[in-house]
Amino acid sequence: MDIAGPRTAVVIGAGVVGLSTAWFLQEHGVEVTVVDRRGVAAGASWGNAGYLSPGLAIPLNEPGVLRYGLRSLLDPGAPLHVPATPDPGLWSFLLRFAANCTWRSWGRAVRANLAFNEECLEAFDYLTSNGVEAPTIEAPITAAFETERQAAALLHELKRINESGMRIEYAALTGDELRSRVPQISTQVRAGVRLDGQRYVDPGRFTHALAESVTARGGTIRSGFEVTEIRPALNGILVRSTGDETIKADVVVVATGAWLNRLGKELGVRVPVRAGRGYSFTVPTDKPVPGPIYLPAVRVACTPYQGKLRVAGTMEFRGPDDPLVQRRIDAIIKSARPLLTGVDWNGITDMWVGPRPVSPDGRPLVGATRVPGVFVAGGHGMWGLTHGPVTGRALAEQIVTGKQPAALWDFDPTR
């Protein structure tokens, strides 16, 4: 580490992004304390689908999403749902998001995320080769559709991404070809796409393994520490909690996911982040699940999970701390049931809702704030797990060297 660089750091947020940043700061010799108001993987890092999928890490602000969203905006059963609310902040965010649902803005987000997509799996390999005891599993992701026309939309999107500079290997399949590979695909499915070179992981297990590695390397993780203030102090940055406890360090990283706005506004972070909440649950199947199953038309992602099937879906714009809404679970079942077979929908366990931090322009917020020594990492939307380790590595490099990596140029949190 540069002798003039930081020697101590506080990372606020014990999800995969915050813990990855802490781990890579340790690689540079920085002493790290991670604090979280609830604990490890308590936000969006536990119950998500677990895809490590550079081939599907597509920005949400694709123009078709706007058309789809306008049709389903107030439908409580739609995969994309915005409840009736007087919250002006939410409607302001949605207007900004709508303004970015253009091919130009989407293309910029694709190009901006290109370096992360190219390096994300290697970053996972680096972690698992150096003390993070959780496997990543290689498997194609099988996307299933009721019609060839629906499949053509994904094929067109993948073609656009390849034209942007990233190389994704994929193949179109018939319904029979899908069923020969994945026994859970129903006869209602008539077309599909196989994405090669993808992986998946048990996200909760991985995040906890990452936390265990941080502590094994000398780091400290504190739960129940809710930060209320970050301010410069003599020879460092002071972090204060609701209980009036304080921690001082040379640098601070805010990686609080969907709660980023609460601290970010005082740091000059002008890009709003909203909670695009996703739901998941686990169900038994009558046959082993060979790999991830993606149902794009109904926005549902399924993954092998502890001998069963984890089913994840929906994008619901509510407060990050709002309780689980049962009808959202019911809506996922209703939409996925016709496309899957051999699934015991009555055997549901592990119902979960997690707030994914969505930015209005499809680009995360990673880098320095207007307060010297304070950095931000968040706003990855649905791809915080896939991009968590590569984010942490790039940001740690910027923090210890003072030089912004090219991969972060378009993610300035004060843009």
Those residues with Cβ within 8 angstroms of residue 35's Cβ, 6 or more apart along the chain or in another chain: 10, 11, 12, 14, 221, 222, 225, 227, 239, 241, 247
pTM of the model: 0.93
* pLDDT at 312 (0 to 100): 97
Phi-psi region of 197 (alpha: psi -120 to 50; beta: other; left: phi over 0): left
Q: What is the pLDDT of residue 87?
A: 83
- pLDDT for 1 equals 37
CATH of 8-45+205-272+362-411 among 3.30.70.260, 3.20.20.70, 3.40.50.300, 3.50.50.60: 3.50.50.60
Low-confidence ranges of the chain (pLDDT < 50): 1-3
Going by C-beta distance under 8 Å and a sequence separation of 6 or more, which residues neighbour residue 347?
283, 284
Angle at 79 between CA 76 and CA 83, to 5 degrees: 35
Phi, psi of 217 (to 5 degrees): -90, 10
Angle among Cα 105, 61, 312 to the nearest 5 degrees reads 155
Give residue 165's pLDDT. Answer: 76
Query: What residue spans define the domains of the chain?
Result: 8-45+205-272+362-411, 55-118+134-198+273-358
Architecture in CATH of 55-118+134-198+273-358:
2-Layer Sandwich (3.30)
pLDDT of residue 2: 42
Whose CA is closest to 288, among 333, 342, 347? Answer: 342
- Say which residues have a Cβ less than 8 Å from residue 2's Cβ, sequence separation at least 6: 400, 401, 402
